[in-house]
């Protein structure tokens, strides 16, 4: 119980990461504490920490908690934490994957740099062959790092013929489609990693 209480109160993200690594499997009392924080939705630091590492939430609470975080427009840090937290999961149920993807996609277009870049990484994590064309549909966005991450997604998973098909399905204007395919072709020859966002501590946000 002491470990989970410490985890919920940590303010520094590097310390939070270390605390998470030391957490053993949560017992019934631990889950009760986590669920109580979620139900009350008052302790800002604890909620943020839970959203950043949602695998500590029992599955019966996890997916709707992430959804609540993504819709917390009165507290933008919750949105950022929920988006980042999805990157820390091994998988997401199909029933939620599409829902999360469509919501996160709109944050890729924001002019808030950290949120946009973080959203682009999570969007590529959630994207499937059926909906990847939606990434192409909003290309290019304001943020060059987001555009880079979109291109990276396509070149890592698909060949140029498939990428052209995605561009066509996205209905890109001729000039935008030409640019998109050009950038993907260039990235095929010289691929670089995803650009990830540096998430601030809650107190610094």
**Residue 144 CB contacts under 8 Å (≥ 6 apart), including other chains:** none
Tokens of 14: 């590097």
pTM: 0.95
Cα distance between residue 194 and residue 87, in whole Å: 13
Residue 70 has pLDDT above 90, yes or no: yes
Cα distance between residue 24 and residue 20, in whole Å: 9
Query: For 22-64, what is each residue's pLDDT tens digit?
Result: 998 899 999 999 999 999 999 999 999 999 999 999 999 999 9
Q: Is 34 left (phi over 0), alpha (psi -120 to 50) or beta?
A: alpha
Q: Closest by alpha carbon to 15, among 195, 203, 180?
A: 203
User: Can you give 130-196 as a three-state secondary structure string?
Assistant: CCCHHHHHCCCCCCHHHHHHHHHHHHHHCCHHHHHHHHHHHCCCHHHHHHHHHHHHHHHHCCCCCCC
Q: How confident is the model at residue 7 (pLDDT cuts 50, 70, 90)?
A: very high
Query: For 161-179, what is each residue's pLDDT tens digit?
Result: 999 999 999 999 999 999 9
Cα distance between residue 199 and residue 55, in whole Å: 18
Query: For 116-173, what is each residue's pLDDT tens digit?
Result: 999 999 999 999 999 999 999 999 999 999 999 999 999 999 999 999 999 999 999 9
Per-residue confidence (pLDDT) for residue 20, from 0 to 100: 96
Cα distance between residue 44 and residue 72, in whole Å: 12
Query: For 97-117, what is each residue's pLDDT tens digit?
Result: 999 999 999 999 999 999 999
């Amino acid at each position: 119980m002491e470990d989970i209480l410490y985890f919920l109160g940590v303010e520094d993200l590097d310390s939070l990461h270390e605390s998470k690594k030391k957490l053993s499997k949560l017992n019934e009392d631990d889950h009760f504490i986590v669920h109580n924080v979620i139900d009350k939705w008052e302790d800002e630091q604890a909620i943020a920490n839970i959203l950043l590492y949602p695998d500590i939430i029992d599955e019966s609470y996890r997916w709707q908690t992430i959804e609540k975080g993504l819709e917390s427009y009165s507290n933008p840090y919750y949105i950022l934490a929920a988006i980042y937290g999805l990157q820390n999961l091994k998988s997401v149920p199909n029933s939620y994957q599409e829902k999360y993807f469509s919501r996160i996609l709109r944050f890729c277009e924001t002019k808030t740099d950290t949120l946009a870049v973080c959203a682009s990484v999570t969007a590529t994590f959630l994207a499937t062959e059926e909906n990847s064309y939606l990434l192409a549909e909003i290309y290019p966005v304001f943020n060059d790092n987001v555009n880079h991450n979109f291109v990276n997604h396509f070149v890592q998973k698909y060949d140029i013929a498939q990428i052209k098909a995605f561009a066509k399905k996205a209905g890109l204007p001729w000039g935008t489609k030409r640019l998109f395919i050009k950038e993907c072709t260039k990235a095929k020859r010289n691929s670089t990693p995803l650009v990830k966002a540096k998430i601030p501590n809650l107190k610094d946000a």
